[in-house]
Copies of this chain bind each other. A is one copy, B any other.
Amino acid sequence: MGYIRCNSEHEGVNMSVAERRRGRGGGGAARRAARTAVSFETARYIERNIPNFEVLSEEALEIIETNAETVLAEIGVNIVENPAALQRWRDAGADVDGERVRIPRGLARQLCATAPSVFTQHARNPERSVVVGGRNLVLAPVYGPPFVRDLAGGRRYATMEDFRKFVKLGYMSKWLHHSGGTVCEPTDIAVNKRHLDMLHAHMTLSDKPFMGSVTEPSRAQDSVDMCGLLFGNDFVQENTVMTSLININSPMTFDDVMMGALEVYARNNQACIISPFIVGGAMAPVSVAGTLTQVLAEVLAGIAYSQLIRPGAPVIMGAFVTSIDMNSGAPTFGTPEAAHITYGAGQLARRLGLPYRSAGSFCGSKLPDAQAAYETSNSLNMGLLSGVNFMLHACGWLEGGLVSSFEKFVMDADQLGTLHHLARGIEIDENAQAMDAIREVGPGGHYLGCDHTQNNFKSAFWKSDLLDYKPFETWEDEGARDTQTLASLRVEKMLADYQQPALDPAIAEALSDFVARKKSEEPDSFM
């Protein structure tokens, strides 16, 4: 098995053709749009030209698949406070006993067959739309932390202002294809209203694809409605414009909130990642094979349910899996056991013909230090090699997911460039063989000045925009800065350079009006 690079577009960097809507009457909104009609380089999503790394034998895969069917048929899953879902399962042929749903062998897998193996998530800038599935890898930022950290301000509760900064950084990060969802929890905004501000930020501060709200079915509906304003309602019904994160309460429990959100999205043809959230040894067996069995059973049930709502609704098989430190009970990240599960789950996803979500910039460290980077690199590399199609948390994750780190966001986002280059594989055409250069230079010479080097050096090597390669003396004269310090400067520079992508003023106004109206309809709740 081997791959040769064949497509020079693998890493095509798209310059967005900014919409310029000057001069429509010279209103303030139009002028603002014109002023902000600048965009930044974004690499195309990764199309792998390297193989997947597979650790499970055919025999092992079959054992796990058989066991997962046994789990569904004999143990079953709990569907909590959702009588309509229980009825759908009963109608589909499952054995429903109270909230327990036992799914006959083969039924869940058969239902999953209508889910597409590849789908496009559209961005409002069509050049930033992503194709999820196949050999592709789409990179999205950290999701969910209630805290932020930066070098100047330390660790603190996240605010909407932090959220907007992360959306801006994501927009400007070349190797990030997706704006994500809850890049941090804006804790200064009411719980029942913050989804409006978050979606508004993704829609107006970036032109990359984004995620919808899942914290209430009504908020999922708000997300769909806002997309209707941004993309047009007809477009939304016919295309996928959001990918949202539906966690399963492992072991084997589906709650009404997450399922309610899933129902809204599936009904509207919007994509969901259906993802067990597992700390191994706590929410799943302590063994890798046992965890994979449970993960497979859970995603089979969840994805089958999405297809009961709407056959053909786009879904991603997720696996968020960490290990546990058995002394402290703390989750651990970037571990070899997480790698095994990620590799194995990738094989299971491919056998199901479904897009696969796993891995990320996971770490347990409190600081963007060496521990954070070891753990993150372990996970990012494993994510690429395991065939992940959608990598949430690809940058910015800190402290077990409690913290979104500004510095780590740009540090990780820089490292994502290595995944793009790794995925290219090795070119073997005549230019790459370089026989003329070897002849020209000969024994004892050097290649720095030869034609082949001059013609190829610009594209030959991945180049960090952050890491330090300076001579020791220069580095020392400049203050002996560590990676965190360099990253802090880069965050500052990127935010200073940020310019908002253009948006039709009518759309911008409609979105603002929607948010204002929705906010006025109910009192703030922080519960």
Where the two chains meet, the residues of A that have a C-beta atom closer than 8 Å to any C-beta of B are: 1-4, 50-51, 53-61, 63-64, 67, 70-71, 74-78, 100, 155, 249, 251-253, 280-291, 293-294, 323-326, 328-330, 332, 334-337, 339-340, 344, 364-378, 381-382, 385, 399, 402, 408, 411, 415, 418-422, 424-428, 431-435, 437-439, 441-448, 452-453, 456-458, 460-464, 467-472, 475-476, 480, 482-484, 487
Contact = CB atoms under 8 A, between A and B. Distances in A.
Nearest to A70: B435
> Number of copies of this chain in the oligomer?
2
Contact of A249 (B61, B78, B399, B444): B444
A340 B422 contact: yes
13 contacts: A1-B54, A2-B56, A2-B61, A63-B428, A78-B443, A252-B442, A290-B432, A323-B460, A324-B461, A336-B462, A364-B469, A370-B411, A374-B411
A402 B476 CA distance: 15
A498 B245 CA distance: 51
Contacts of A442: 75, 251-252
Contact of A370 (B252, B323, B372, B435): B372
B290 A434 contact: yes
Given A1-B57, A365-B468, A369-B373, 17 more contacts: A2-B60, A56-B426, A60-B426, A63-B428, A75-B443, A100-B443, A251-B445, A283-B446, A284-B447, A325-B469, A344-B426, A365-B467, A366-B480, A368-B370, A369-B369, A370-B483, A375-B467
Nearest to A331: B469
A67 B441 CA distance: 15
Given A378-B377, A432-B290, A469-B364, A447 B281 contact: yes
Contacts of A415: 374
B63 A433 contact: yes
